[in-house]
Every structure is written in C-alpha cells, then in structure tokens.
Amino acid sequence: MGEMDKPKCMGEVALGGLLTLIALGMMITGCASGGAMGGTMQTQLDLSSNGFTWKIADTPEKLKHVESFPQRKIVRHKKDGKDYYIYADARDCKCVYVGDEKAYQQYKQLVYEKRKEREEDIAAEQTGIIARDVDFWGVFGPWTW
C-alpha cells in the first residue's frame, strides 16, 4: 500500500466505525425508549431463551401464513394431538416462534417473575413516598382538624 492510499483507507475505516456507532446508538435508543419495537425484541429474546424455536418466513407463502395468525400474541395450536404455542410477527422479524408445553410454561414463569419484580419495585417506591410524607408531617407535629 502506498502513501497515497493510506488516508483513503483510514477514512473508509473511520467512516465504517462511525456508521457502526450510529447504528448501535439507534438500536440502544430504540430499546431503551420502551417502544413497541423494544418490547417486541425483549419478548422474542425471552421466547427463544425459554425453548421456543425461531422460524423465519423466507418465502411469500410462509409470510402469508405468518400473517394469518394473531400478531405478537401467543396462541395455542394443536397438531397431531399435541399442543404447540405460536408467536407470530409478520411486520418486524417476519417470523414465528414455536414452543411446546414445556417452553410455554417456562416462558409464563419468566413473565410472572418479571411482573412480580415490577410490582415489588412499584410497592417499594410507593412505600418510600409514604414514608417521606409521614416524615414531613412528623416535622410539623400533630395536626388537629
């Protein structure tokens, strides 16, 4: 590589790095914003980490089939006498997640635990607010009406 090629090469590397940082920032911002996409991505991660299998709709026929299911909801589907649970997302990932009874129960347990943690966090926050109110009134002594 000659001296004349170095700045061009370094510029391409710098541009590639900058674009990567911008894309990463957009992804983090999207997930942190709590929007639908962030929630959808978390749901998909939770499904796959609890035994659901990811299947992409890589043909128009498969996509049409994915579109026929209720979107972003887990629905039970019986096949050969066995229950399967399907989560379809034709808009964002153009895919389905399919799980058996065991995967579904694991996922339900995870959702329950997350909900319980959120409720505990809210209760702790409210208790803190009530305690501050009690402390405030205590400073002024007893109130008579």
pLDDT tens readout for residues 98-132? 999 999 999 999 999 999 888 887 877 777 655 55
Closest among 67, 77, 72, 65 to 46, alpha carbons compared: 72
Is 74 part of a structural domain of the chain? yes
Is 138 part of a structural domain of the chain? no
Predicted pLDDT of residue 141: 61
Say if CB 93 and CB 52 are below 8 A apart: no
- Structural domain count, the chain: 1
Predicted pLDDT of residue 30: 44
Say if CB 15 and CB 9 are below 8 A apart: no
Is 48 part of a structural domain of the chain? yes
Listed as ranges, residues in the chain with pLDDT below 70 are 1-38, 128-145
Is 111 part of a structural domain of the chain? yes
Is 9 part of a structural domain of the chain? no
How far apart are the C-alpha atoms of 88 and 72, rounded to whole Å? 6
Predicted pLDDT of residue 29: 43
Is 25 part of a structural domain of the chain? no
| Full residue range of the structural domain in which residue 103 is found | 37-132
Say if CB 86 and CB 75 are below 8 A apart: yes
Q: What share of the chain is helix, strand, coil (3-state, %, to 5)?
A: 60, 15, 20
List strand residue ranges (DSSP E) for the chain, in order.
Answer: 53-56, 74-79, 82-89, 95-99
Predicted pLDDT of residue 95: 95
- State in Å, rounded, how far the first CA of the chain is from the last one: 88
Closest among 41, 47, 57, 40 to 99, alpha carbons compared: 47
Is 141 part of a structural domain of the chain? no
Is 18 part of a structural domain of the chain? no
Predicted pLDDT of residue 31: 41
Predicted pLDDT of residue 32: 41
Predicted pLDDT of residue 119: 85
- The angle subtended at Cα 85 by Cα 82 and Cα 88, nearest 5°, is 140
